[in-house]
Chains A and B, each alone.
Chain A
């Protein structure tokens, strides 16, 4: 590896199609309460191109979230590396916005206050914050609820507000960790549509890494689906989605990919269950 890296070092750093994000031989272990060490992610490598929308798909506990946390800079890899624009990721930053499983809105601030805080943290001057925050909220149909406190809203609306807050940072990369997993079916569909729309309508390319265990969601949203095995998480296959956007769950191409991947994913789940049963 080191030799190859030094051989490449004479190349210009910014090649036109250099990946936005790279994960190289990433290993992530964690200690259990009992003191044992579990390998959550096992030598995973993949690249994400600038402006690409990828889904990390895999059964629960396959280490998808661990990978996302490393990309967010919230966790360090045990070994291997994670790069953004070819440079190692050393910490979190507003160039990589994160949508968590829970909305993670600040409960002491109104919806508008949450978006304004994000703008303040990226250095938007005070006089511009209100107007720009309102525009981001209008963009996800949350303008009417700008003055609501987060606890007054449904989970779907909260996640919508969290999306507005994440987009307000105008990030190069959006990292989403099963953000719609806790929503009811209708709210989930609306938010999937919304996310497709904001990603398609973006002015600057926004690279999106979306973690999910839901095959249909992955097929609906992604340019490319990266399927992971049951724990310890490894990459088992990749599937490119060429279906035109906006997509719908009943599009023929979407359903075909769903049934393909579903099969291999079920095999992975079976293997995981078999391992847990001690076979």
Chain B
């Protein structure tokens, strides 16, 4: 299949959905003429303006740096803890429920505590994002290790793999699809928690997208422009990074249903 045809088949339907939404929005905005719902064009202009004067691009950059840091720490902490829990049954039975509890709790509920500890600072926001994201990584790591087919481990052992070699050659690659699913989920949680944190913790020096959302209630086009940037970043990373990696990893293993 040619690249162009692939792009049409893959991207056509979601782009059609977005186009439909914009059309409906434009019609409703034209009929209501309320300041509460600006037209798509107003929002587009606000977005261009925000990018031109640097408010939106600076805020997006700031938010992305926080996100990269929080997500990176979540991967390191979550994977290390998950590997530990996968290897030790007592640790798994005692600590896993606590991680599940943290996973279920809305991470923004930790923000007041974070503010007590770190004040109205960037650190509080990052703390909440990490607390929201690492449990997914940990739980996916535990589950993916434990779901490695025993037959493959037996095959590896009869071929002479043991100890670290068995992990490197068999267990890690066999666990990879489940682990990547956990990272994808953690990305979503980190993004949500970070934005929620930024909305509440407005710091004067370090404005992120969440802070723009929080202070734009008087300027609805700017608010919607920032919201659009939030949505686009979230979808783009989910689809272009995790979606494509997942396709590659599963496709190689024959785990994709051809549609």
Contact = CB atoms under 8 A, between A and B. Distances in A.
A100 B157 contact: no
Contacts of A92: 154, 157-158, 160
B151 A104 contact: yes
A106 B160 contact: no
B254 A151 contact: yes
Nearest to B161: A121
A169 B152 CA distance: 17
Contact of B170 (A91, A94, A98, A106): A106
Interface residues of A, number: 28
Contact of A94 (B160, B173, B254): B160
Contacts of A165: 159
A93 B249 CA distance: 30
A165 B156 CA distance: 11
Nearest to B149: A104
Contacts of B151: 100, 102, 104
Interface in A97-117: 97-98, 100, 102, 104, 106-109, 117
Contacts of A120: 169
A150 interface: yes
A149 interface: yes
A99 B174 CA distance: 20
A98 B254 contact: no
A72 B169 contact: no
A118 interface: yes
Contacts of B253: 107-108, 149, 151
B154 A100 contact: yes
Contacts of A152: 254
Interface in B136-187: 151-152, 154-162, 165, 169-170, 173-174, 176
B5 interface: no
Interface in A199-224: none
Contacts of B161: 121
A165 B159 CA distance: 9
A106 B152 contact: yes
A121 B169 contact: yes
B9 interface: no
A122 interface: yes
A187 B8 CA distance: 42
Nearest to B177: A108
A93 B176 contact: no
B152 A104 contact: yes
Interface string A122-133: 100000000000
Interface string B225-259: 00000000000000000000000010011110000
A121 B160 contact: yes
Contacts of B255: 107
17 contacts: A73-B158, A92-B160, A94-B159, A96-B158, A97-B158, A97-B159, A98-B154, A100-B154, A106-B170, A107-B254, A108-B173, A108-B174, A109-B173, A121-B159, A121-B161, A151-B254, A169-B160
Interface of B: 151-152, 154-162, 165, 169-170, 173-174, 176, 249, 252-255
Interchain residue pairs A-B with the least CB separation, the first 6? A151-B254, A94-B160, A104-B155, A107-B253, A98-B158, A121-B160
